[in-house]
Structure 1
């Protein structure tokens, strides 16, 4: 690796034990550039040697770094900031010299590491504007400036971590004259064991498959918002075109690809959490009616698996979803009235409860099409519970455990494209549709066995998945990018 020579005021520091790393980039399974800049910061505790003794201070280092680069490509950290919070006890050397203001020039040693190799770079001449020496409490100084570039010569994961910190203080009296002494040099070292990584960068070889990003064949301009036509879903002709492109996928992602077509698992694509709401309707085929679903709050884990196949020109991403309603893995209760057997008005409250593993989300994107079509399948295991049942206005005591005898699989699918954007995309939401098979019921009735009644009225005939569901998902609120689509919006359901 090589190191070549070459402002913002933040909120007050609140030091977390062990430090904290925040990478503010939305790593979402969609057709967005994985090499987009990441806003990175780390909060550390330093032991600093002041004349009065060793003081422990909080230091926040932040910078904008790329998430992925090629071997030999120069990395230029931007927006570098070293924020130092000094406790009142460390300011004695300034108050004793009757200093009214003080400033500092910081030099931060940053260790650039890849595998077993590392090299230290000096981020020096980071200057902080003068601040008043407080009569009480501590003070914060924010040093900013340009720093050297760095490059890495081999593929792999590289890290940047702050190590030693030198602070060169200058103090002035109220009339602007230098104090006696006029300055103070302080050496600081990281205090104890703590996670000190500022950022991680994926370094790729020059012959590796390209970093996923917008296609280079001059796609149509991407609109700021999906066009209104996205709501009802894709037209048959568009859906057929997308499904035709999907036929290019490999028969099995688990099969070993030919040696000339390596499967790439980019290390910069890491798991992150997100939140979203979905709302819609589910048909009860036998009852010839629909019940509202949601708005359902979803807790999402993105990028549990990421595979970019350079031979097939596809990206496959696996994520997961858990529903959450008042701390339970379920959708909100919904009440519906149907004409049971075609003539008897029946009202019931239904709850869909999630069981087993989190719902499985798989998105498949074709990257050699300028449109970047994306197909998504969401599979959840659910049980249905019924309560507060009334038949023709008369309460029917079904007990607390009237539910499907076994879990059933709800599969929802979405189709869309990124350029121009419309239809369903995991990151931006849209319509999801699918069918479910409702099993027989059990546990229904207190004074009498009502299982057969609800099985006959609600459950699917035979093994056919005949209960149609349509859900509208709102855009994701991603934890690493809280300024976009956060808090998550509640979508309007569509039939």
Structure 2
């Protein structure tokens, strides 16, 4: 970012590689190796889910199919293959979408899979995308989603079990003329029905020599509902071990209790450990150009009125980098550098973040959970200004984006309040603008400052290597919240959330230069997505 593509770009990238700028997020460390893998088992499970559609709760069927190994070595990644999710929406739910003016729907699915081994557990997210499918005039609608899913690695010997948990789908809606419906997207959250067969069990894989028969139902783990170990670290009693592993050595089968730790969840393919993140790649709607970058961002946004912060999980930005412009000092002792770039949020061909949840104590005692989406309402610009003496370079970058906050669902003290399909802020989130004449209109502003000494890693924020950006934002009043025959919730949300001076801190990861003749394996996955997923910081 501090020089032309032909020179400084490559220098900055080599420094970024040497500095190992972005951190990896994994659920656990690697484990020792043991015996090899055996045959393959087929998964084909149909599960009932209770889903919240605009008209209310309906039952949807979710069929999950995949191929998994029957047995793996301890420490060998378990990679689900040929994963397909068929979601069948009932006729009443299809009618809801039709009422919004939709003629076709495309789904992005998220299935939470609980992974347990012994008393320890972790979660993996199986994501998929479907083709755009016409809504039937009557009857149910089935959407078929496919996609890569994370690998899972057991950290000790013993059976590893996978069970389906919560399920969500983001429906991108289009009208018959090809335009977007209003709203353009509908998020549907689903919970596994109480009568789901075998509590949503998908498969079991034997890990190591004594992993047991994967076809035999695993014993019920004791401890917390999340599958984490008890505070003592000692397994509780089960049918197989009524003494709860009290063999005098602190663990079952003579193993020490420290072996009772969570499985490790890695990125799809298991080749590049990274946190769960949505797809971030250029496509036919957003084709890559000669200066195209992509990157993940994540962070926190305070909500002053609720004395809390909302975590915005990793989301994708597609960036078109501008050419830097140099103005040399009269004595050629240095130069100023300016650069203007543009960008778009990206989620399933929509300029928005994936849905994210936040739970607060409204009025200091009532737990309130909101599912929200940030929608880009206009051009996003990235303007950098710096100075260099050709040894030390400092750069200030301002990201400006008009973002509307949309609320898709709301629960107060466990009770769902119907916010309708058009609940959003009246205008974009706003920040104090230092140059209002040059940058008119409502928009959020994030500022990042980076410094670099030639030959040393950069510190702070640079467009290419990422880093922290901060700002303050005003949340406008809400509108459209509630239904025609229900309670108007505009004032409740406005009173609870809207207001000024909410601190925001976002972390951008290392960019992937997708337009390079050859993708940099330290920056990009094989399919031109960002390799590095940043970790949110407060």
Give me the TM-score of the superposition, normalised by structure 2. Answer: 0.42
Bigger-Rg structure (1/2): 1
- Structure showing the higher strand proportion among its residues: 1
